[in-house]
Amino acid sequence: MDRDLSNYRKTYNKGELLLEDTPENPLELFKKWFHEVDTYFEEDETNAMTISTIGLDGFPKNRVVLLKRFTYEGFIFFTNYESEKGQAIAKNPNVCLSFFWHGAERQIIIKGTAEKLAENLSDGYFESRPRGSQLGAIASNQSSVVKDRKQLETDLRDLEIKYDGKEIPRPDFWGGYLVRPVSIEFWQGRPNRLHDRIHYQLDATYNWTKNRLSP
């Protein structure tokens, strides 16, 4: 298969990002951008983000997960701790998160360190999930080889019977991570590929420094 994509072109002209207009704390800018995209660009799944880890095989791997909360401490998502990504984080907690909001022509790249949430916080979020999602988390031995889809559906039906009319407890192997950022880059598409890039870096005194990067 050979397909030439060299003629694919797009002009970016929906906004600008000037260093003098940015706040001292990048979490303020993240909050602003997230709100704007969530409000004005409904075609984007605003909280969908790519997380990159270094796998046990030494290779980086990206996958899309959903951001469930962000605070001044960092970014929270939930997953199976025994999954491929969970095992990778256990060995090397340094991760990269990225958001690409094509409607707004914006991208955010976050480097940080992942740590498990307190159990009570994971319990609280698990309890808020629909029962189907709760049971699905228990039924799936995430990232392991499964015989076929029928096996997954059978396991789910068995769990539905087991917990019929009962509270579903959060399994120990499932919960949240908090990613504490050390670097955040904001990218705004601009004409002629002269994109705006503002990079924040956390220094040794836990203060943020910021600079404009060449596109």
Query: What tens digit of pLDDT does each residue of 164-193 get?
Result: 999 999 999 999 999 999 999 999 999 999
Q: What is the mean predicted confidence (pLDDT) over 208-214?
A: 98
Distance CA 118, CA 177 (A): 9
Whole-prediction pTM value?
0.93
Per the annotation, the verdict on 193 as an active-site residue is yes
The CATH architecture annotation of domain 19-127+173-212 reads: Roll (2.30)
Whole-angstrom CA distances from 134 to 84, 130, 150 are 20, 6, 19
Average pLDDT, the chain: 94
pLDDT band at 42 (very low <50, low <70, confident <90, very high): confident
Domain locations in the chain as residue ranges = 19-127+173-212
Q: What is the mean predicted confidence (pLDDT) over 84-97?
A: 98
Catalytic residue among 180, 193, 197, 212: 193
The model's pLDDT over 128-147, given as tens digits with 9 standing for 90+, comes to 999 999 999 998 877 777 78
